[in-house]
Amino acid sequence: MKIFIQIQSPSDCIRLQTDLDKFFEWSTTLGLSLNPSKCKVITFSRSQSPIFFPYRLGNDDIPRVYDNVRDLGFILSHNLDPSAHIQHVCCKALKMLGIIIRLSREFKLGSSVKILFCSLVRPILEYGSVVWDPHTAENARQLERVQNKFLCFAGRALDLPCPPHDYTPVANHLGLSSLSLRRNVAGSKFLKGLLDGKVECPALLSLVPFRVPQINTRSNAPFRITQAPTNYLLNEPLRRLLRYANSDPNFML
C-alpha cells in the first residue's frame, strides 16, 4: 500500500496525515494489524530545503529514510536519480555472471553460453528500464561493461578473434545487440502499447502530447515536445520515450 501527495505547504502534510489516519481506522475496522516499523516515509524532491513532517500510523511514528528506498525491485533515490539503482543492478548482474563463468568454462557451444546470459543476467540489467533508462554516459557504460565482460569470456571460450577491447565480432557471432539499443526498443514497445491500449494507464496516456499541425510541414514527428529548461526534465521517462519515437521514422508504421 502506497499513500502519497504532492507537498507544497504544511497544510498538504496535514492532509497526508489525515489520509494515514483514515487508512489506519479502516484497517482496524477490518481487523488488520499494521507494523509501522516496516513502513517507510520518503520525500522525493530536488529542493535544497524540502518540507519534512513527522508522520504517524496510529500511535507510532513512521521511520523516515533520507537517501533511497527499495520498492518492487527498484532503488528509488530521494531525487529520483537512477544512479543508485543502476549500480545495484550492475553488482547483482556481475555476481550472477561470475557464477555462469565459473560453471561454463568448458562450454564450446555459443548457443549454450548465450542462453545462460540472456536468461540469467540480461533480465537483471533490463528490468523496468523504461523507468530508469540512464541519461548519462557513465551510467550507460556501467551497464555495457557487464555485457562486455560476458563477451570477453565468450570470445575466449569459443576461440573467436577480436581486437582488444572491441567485442563487436563476438556480439555479431552470438547475435547480441547493445543494451542501450535494447532499452530504446523496449521504450518504443511500451509507448506503442500505451497508445494501443495494451498498457492500461489513462493517467499516463493523458500526458502524451500529440502533434496536430494546422498546416502541412516537412516534419513527420507524431508528438509535440515542449522545451525543457533543465537536463533533469529533458530526460524524464515519458519525454525521453516521446523523443525516441519522434526520431524513429518507423514508429507509427
- Let me know whether 28 and 44 are in one domain: yes
| 40 assigned to some structural domain | yes
Q: Using the 3D structure, point to which of 139, 159, 176 is the last residue of a domain.
A: 176
Residue 192 maps to a domain: yes
* Same-domain pairing of 91 and 168: yes
Domain contains 76: no
Looking at the fold, whether 86 and 172 belong to one and the same domain comes out as: yes
Do 127 and 192 belong to one domain? no
Q: What is the predicted pLDDT for the residue at 164? A: 83
Residue 73 lies in a domain: no
Note whether 126 and 179 are within 8 A (CB).
Answer: yes
- What pLDDT digit, counting tens, does each position of 106-126 carry? 777 778 889 999 999 999 999
Residues 158 and 99 in one domain: yes
Torsion angle, CA of 135/136/141/142, rounded to 10 degrees? -90
Residue 4 lies in a domain: no
pLDDT band at 189, cuts 50/70/90?
very high
Shared domain check, 196 and 151 = no
Same-domain check for residues 98 and 171:
yes
From 60, 55, 54, select the one nearest 35 (Cα to Cα).
Answer: 60
Neighbours of 130 (CB within 10 A): 19
Average predicted confidence (pLDDT) for the chain: 91
Over 80: is that where the pLDDT of 213 sits?
Answer: no
61-93 residue pLDDT tens: 999 999 999 999 999 999 989 999 999 999 999
Which three three-digit cell numbers place residue 131?
523507468
Query: Where is the domain boundary, 154, 176, 198?
Result: 176
Write out pLDDT tens, residues 152-180.
999 888 888 888 888 999 999 999 999 99
- % of the chain with per-residue pLDDT over 70: 99
Q: Is 183 helix (H, G, I), strand (E, B) or coil?
A: helix
Instruction: Tell me how far apart the alpha carbons of residues 64 and 37 are, in angstroms, rounded to a whole number.
Output: 10
Could you identify the residue written with the cell 499513500? 3
| 219-243: pLDDT as tens digits | 788 898 888 888 888 888 999 999 9
- Mark whether 87 and 159 lie in a shared domain: yes
| Residue written as grid cell 520515450 | 241
> Same domain, yes or no, for 192 and 169?
no
The parent domain of residue 42 ranges over 10-66
Query: Is residue 253 situated within a structural domain?
Result: no
- b/e burial code for range 30-62 (CB count within 10 A of at least 16 → b): eeeeeebeebebbeeeeeeeeeeeebebeeeeb
Give yes or no: residues 220 and 190 share one domain. yes
**pLDDT confidence of residue 248:** 87
Number of structural domains, the chain? 3
pLDDT band at 29 (very low <50, low <70, confident <90, very high): very high
pLDDT for residue 150 is more than 90: yes
- Same domain for 211 and 140, yes or no, is no
* Boundary of a domain, candidates 158, 176, 194: 176
92 shares a domain with 169: yes
> pLDDT at position 162, please?
83
